[in-house]
């Protein structure tokens, strides 16, 4: 398509006025009463998450919609990078530190124990490589990693590939769709380097007894990594009380943010000496100074710098500032509602599904009494079930002949009734 000068200038004017968002700045500010995270309430949650007004959305464990409060923060940052200083808001190191502080409140950690990454799996890779698991077999040493069948398949893939380099991989079989500490105790021994678990299983919402498993691992000299992407934001997490050494989560699920940002926890006692950095970059140092260019200050070395302390030693490269701006407000929203309250809101919906869906021919694979907002069921005919839900404008995850339903803050019991009626 050819653009003449008149079309180009009119398009530029539209961009400058904020029209590239699909609405004017004034429109974006009038999307409903819940525009700030501080105004969070369950009564206004549907207004805060407009996606919920377009369909009965019950796949929050897959991808949680962003709220108006988070998207407006991202818009303000986009206005900044479009137009420069003015009404827009920059988002940089200081604001990312606030994200770490807020996330620390959520999981019981210090800001200095949290690193910014690009995803959950980046964190798990940093643990595997930082503990030297890729060298165990190559150096002829003994060492094993313990996972189980309900572990996130992307995480398990890391250890399957390391198994090719000689690492021993022990995979515990699930029984009745759960894995108990007793089964972990039988698998862990003095040669276990790492126990890697998904704190809340993405398969069926099963919540592991992390404290009991951590005690077993630590008694044998092993460390514990937890994928908490299906836990942070929807069930209470206290990494210290649970004995978790390392954990990681992306922000686009229960943290109610965007893709492109991950939060990686490393217990401060293990930073550097136990979990070694395996990638390096300019996020890990401050006060860099050249000493060899004309006019450079004198120095005994060609360059000098100060290495940063804390979990920043694991940060490599940039993460999404847009996602960071949204995440700061999303975390404020979650903390204002309270994770206990979020779970108390969603859990009765899961309980009703667990009670009613088996009567309709969908056996439940979530263990009885599971304290998470995720319920999963076997599906004999995925195509037929998908068609019924689509006709009723209901969204759940159907994959591997399983259906996973995960209500959140904006869902109500009538949403569950809509799903049940669609499958009746």
CATH number of the domain within which 399 lies: 3.90.1150.10
Rounded distance between C-alpha atoms, residue 311 and residue 113, angstroms: 5
How many degrees, rounded to 5, is the angle at CA 255 between CA 253 and CA 260? 70
List, in sequence order, every beta strand (DSSP E) within 257-351.
262-266, 285-290, 303-307
One domain, residues 235 and 361: no
In a domain, 249, yes or no: yes
pLDDT above 60 (res 7) = no
Could you tell me what percent of the chain has a pLDDT over 90? 83
pLDDT digits (tens, 9 = 90+) for 259-272: 999 999 999 999 99
Q: What is the DSSP letter of 240?
A: H
379 and 270 in one domain? no
Mean pLDDT throughout 194-220? 98
pLDDT above 60: residue 322: yes
Pair (244, 102) in one structural domain: yes
Task: Provide mean pLDDT across the span 338-343.
Answer: 98
Per DSSP, the residues of 16-35 read HTTGGGTS-HHHHTTS-S--
Q: Does 78 fall in a domain? A: no
Contact 152, 202 (CB under 8 A): yes
Assess whether 108 and 187 both reside in one domain. Answer: yes
- Residue burial 349-364, b: 16+ Cβ < 10 Å; e: rest: bbebbbebbeeeebeb
Gap between the Cα atoms of 159 and 232, Å rounded: 24
How confident is the model at residue 140, as a pLDDT? 61
Domain end (from 316, 334, 352)? 334
Tell me, yes or no, whether 289 and 354 share the same domain: no
Q: What is the pLDDT of residue 34?
A: 54
Angle at 231 between CA 228 and CA 232, to 5 degrees: 80
Q: Give the Cα separation of 135 and 7 in Å (integer).
A: 59
**DSSP character string of 350-419:** HHHHHHHGGGGT--B-SPTT--SS-EEEE-S-HHHHHHHHHHTTEE-EEETTEEEEB--TT--HHHHHHH
**Does residue 263 lie in a domain region?**
yes
Residue 3 counted as domain residue: no
11 pLDDT above the threshold of 70: no
Tokens of 43: 């009564």
Which tokens hold the place of 81?
A: 């990078």
The answer to whether residue 414 scores a pLDDT higher than 80 is yes
Which of residues 334, 369, 399 is at a domain's end?
A: 334
* Model confidence pLDDT, tens digit, residues 216-262: 999 999 999 999 999 999 999 999 999 999 999 999 999 999 999 99
Phi, psi of 63 (to 5 degrees): -155, 120
Q: How far apart are CA 363 and CA 368, in angstroms?
A: 12
Task: Specify whether 159 is located in the same domain as 287.
Answer: yes
Residue 400 lies in a domain: yes
If asked whether residues 345 and 327 sit together in one domain, one would say no
Alpha carbons 400 and 245: distance in angstroms, whole number = 32
CATH at residue 203: 3.40.640.10
User: What is the average per-residue pLDDT within 279-305?
Assistant: 91
Query: CA-CA distance, 67 to 342, in Å (whole number)?
Result: 15
pLDDT over 90 (residue 8) = no
Same domain for 257 and 209: yes
DSSP assignment of 49-87 equals: -GGGGTSEE-BTTT-PPPPHHHHHHHHHHHHHHHH-SSS
DSSP 173: P
Predicted TM-score of the model (pTM): 0.90
Would you say residue 30 has pLDDT above 70?
A: no
pLDDT tens per residue, range 368-413: 999 999 999 999 999 999 999 999 999 999 999 999 999 999 999 9
| Residue 165: predicted pLDDT | 87
Please, is 108 exposed, middle or buried when counting C-beta atoms within 10 Å of its C-beta (0-12, 13-18, 19+)?
middle
Q: Same structural domain for residues 291 and 397?
A: no
- The answer on pLDDT for 26 being more than 60 is no
Instruction: From residue 374, give the alpha-carbon distance in Å to each of 42, 76, 107, 235.
Output: 19, 33, 19, 10
User: Is 81 among the domain residues?
Assistant: no
pLDDT digits over 151-163, tens only? 999 999 999 999 9
Determine, yes or no, domain membership for 157: yes
d(CA 122, CA 111): 19
pLDDT of 21 reads: 39
If asked whether residues 247 and 362 sit together in one domain, one would say no
**Rounded CA gap, 36 and 74, in Å?**
13
- Give me the chain's average pLDDT, please: 91
pLDDT at 283: 87
Residues 181 and 297 reside in one and the same domain: yes
* Token pair in block for residue 61: 């464990």
> Over 70: is that where the pLDDT of 22 sits?
no
Residue range 182-200: average pLDDT? 97
- pLDDT value for 89: 82
- Which band of pLDDT confidence, cut at 50, 70 and 90, is reported for residue 29? very low
Query: Distance (Å, rounded) from C-alpha 40 to C-alpha 167?
Result: 48
CA 177 to chain centre: 23
Domain boundary among 318, 334, 350: 334
What's the rounded Cα separation, in Å, for the pair 42 and 152?
30
Total domains, the chain: 2
- CB atoms closer than 10 angstroms to residue 82: 13
Percent of the chain with pLDDT over 70: 90
Does the pLDDT of residue 329 top 90, yes or no? yes
Whether residue 5 is contained in a domain is answered as no
Same domain? For 170 and 210 the reply is yes
Residue 139 in this model has a pLDDT that exceeds 60: no
Structural domain for 413, as ranges = 338-423
Higher-scoring residue by pLDDT: 308, 126: 126
């Amino acid at each position: 398509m050819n653009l003449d000068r008149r079309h180009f200038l009119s398009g530029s004017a539209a961009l400058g006025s904020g029209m590239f968002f699909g609405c004017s700045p004034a429109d974006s500010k009038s999307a409903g009463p819940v525009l700030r995270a501080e105004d969070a309430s369950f009564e206004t949650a549907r207004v805060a998450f407009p996606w919920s007004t377009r369909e009965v959305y019950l796949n929050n464990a897959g991808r949680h919609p962003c709220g108006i409060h988070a998207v407006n923060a991202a818009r303000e940052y986009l206005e900044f990078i479009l137009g420069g200083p003015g009404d827009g808001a920059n988002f940089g190191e200081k604001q990312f530190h606030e994200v770490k502080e807020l996330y620390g409140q959520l999981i019981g950690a210090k800001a200095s124990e949290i690193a910014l990454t690009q995803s959950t799996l980046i964190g798990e890779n940093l643990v595997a490589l930082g503990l030297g698991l890729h060298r165990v077999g190559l150096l002829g040493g003994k060492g094993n990693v313990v996972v189980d069948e309900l572990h996130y398949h992307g995480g398990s893939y890391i250890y399957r590939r390391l198994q090719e380099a000689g690492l021993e991989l022990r995979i515990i079989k699930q029984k009745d769709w759960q894995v108990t500490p007793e089964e972990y105790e039988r698998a862990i021994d003095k040669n276990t380097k790492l126990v890697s678990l998904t704190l809340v299983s993405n398969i069926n919402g099963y919540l592991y007894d992390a404290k009991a498993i951590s005690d077993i691992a630590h008694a044998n000299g092993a460390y514990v990594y937890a994928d908490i992407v299906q836990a942070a934001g929807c069930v209470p997490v206290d990494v210290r009380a649970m004995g978790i050494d390392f954990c990681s989560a992306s922000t686009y699920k229960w943290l109610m943010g965007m893709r492109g940002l991950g939060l990686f926890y490393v217990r401060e006692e293990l930073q550097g000496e136990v979990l070694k950095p395996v990638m390096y970059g300019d996020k890990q140092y401050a006060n860099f100074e050249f000493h060899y260019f004309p006019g450079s200050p004198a120095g005994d070395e060609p360059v000098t710098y100060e290495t940063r302390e804390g979990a920043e030693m694991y940060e490599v490269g940039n993460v999404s500032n847009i996602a960071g701006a949204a995440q700061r407000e999303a975390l404020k929203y979650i903390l204002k509602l309270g994770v206990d309250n979020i779970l108390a809101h969603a859990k009765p919906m899961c309980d009703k599904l667990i009670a009613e869906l088996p009567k309709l021919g969908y056996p439940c694979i979530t263990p009885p009494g599971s304290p998470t907002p995720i319920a999963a069921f076997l599906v004999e005919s995925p195509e037929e079930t998908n068609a019924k839900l689509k006709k009723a404008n209901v969204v759940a995850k159907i994959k591997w002949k399983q259906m996973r339903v995960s209500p959140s803050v904006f869902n109500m019991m009538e949403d569950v009734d809509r799903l049940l009626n669609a499958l009746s």
